[in-house]
Amino acid sequence: MSKYRNVRMALCAIFVATLIVFGAQAQNKVETVPYGANPAAGHSLRVDDANIYYETYGSGGTPLVLLHGGLYGYIEEFGELIGELSKHRRVIAIATRGHGKSDIGTKPFSYSLFADDAFAVIRHETSDKVDVLGFSDGAITSYTLASAHPELIRRLVAIGGPRKFADWTPSAQAEERNSKPSDVERDSPQFASARKMLMPQPERWLEFNEKLNAMWLGPVYVTDDQIQSIRIPTLIIAGDHDPYNQIPKFVELFQLLPKGELAIIPGCGHVVLECKGQFTISAVKTFLDGAEN
């Protein structure tokens, strides 16, 4: 089993552990928030060919938009972050199409498409500028969104998002080239089953995986010109032991940004919010609350 496959299995284990904790707490009548499937916070917006699901929490301050990671990622991965930051500002957590309760739609997946979906949700919810935090696939979407709509975003946080497939580690690239749409259900049946229960069209699970794999194998996700066009304060975050991405590539990305900042989290892999949650959240809060450059 490759290092890349091990990380996938670890992400699945985190998801399953979350389900177990929620179940145990429910039995003990301890109140929890069902992030990603919360009727009290959930909304749906028709965007072209798909219904996009999102949840809103808190009030006040500059709205914060959250864009989660791909495949194993979903709104619930931001639970601790939402709980903390929604105390003083409104949080809008968007489910990427095909993930959880958002439709897959009919179009090929692309980061431009995901950015269009996010833009529609944001402008449906507010006419004000927003802050955006994206993780992994969500980080790549955030680059595209910020480049396409410079008037939209006040401050941007991007965690673990590469610019292109060549920025992945060699082992991750090899694993992805050899992956099949059926791998996730084979390796992580409990995870796949739980996700299908959320999906509006669970029979399209393999198609969903095919669309993601095709997008990931694309040579370029966001161009250097697009990165250089992002002229808002932007914080790039990555774990120093990320098995998906080459760390020097994050340094290159940071150097392309006119108002970039860089935080490499020590002792962490890809999922820094799980590895050192409070440390990362503190860095995010400090950046978002900072004075304008």
Predicted confidence (pLDDT) per residue in 13-71, tens digit: 444 444 434 444 433 334 599 999 999 999 999 999 999 999 999 999 999 999 999 99
Sheet of 50-57: strands edge to edge?
A: 42-47, 50-57, 91-94, 64-67, 130-135, 153-159, 234-239, 260-265
Asked whether the predicted pLDDT for residue 121 surpasses 50, the reply is yes
Q: Please give the share of the chain, as a percent, with pLDDT higher than 90.
A: 88
The pLDDT of 184-205, averaged and rounded, is 97
- Helices and strands (H and E) in the chain: how many: 12, 8
Q: Residue 290's pLDDT is what? A: 86
235-255, pLDDT tens digit by residue? Answer: 999 999 999 999 999 999 999
95-117: average pLDDT: 99
Using an 8 Å Cβ cutoff, are 210 and 237 in contact? no
Residues near 282 by beta carbon (within 8 Å), at least 6 away in sequence: none
Fold (CATH) for 3-288: Rossmann fold (3.40.50)
Q: Which two tokens stand for residue 34?
A: 């069902």
Give me the mean pLDDT over the 275-284 stretch: 97
- pLDDT, tens only, 196-243: 999 999 999 999 999 999 999 999 999 999 999 999 999 999 999 999
Predicted confidence at residue 12, as pLDDT, reads 53
Rounded to the nearest integer, the mean pLDDT of the chain is 92
Does pTM surpass 0.95? no
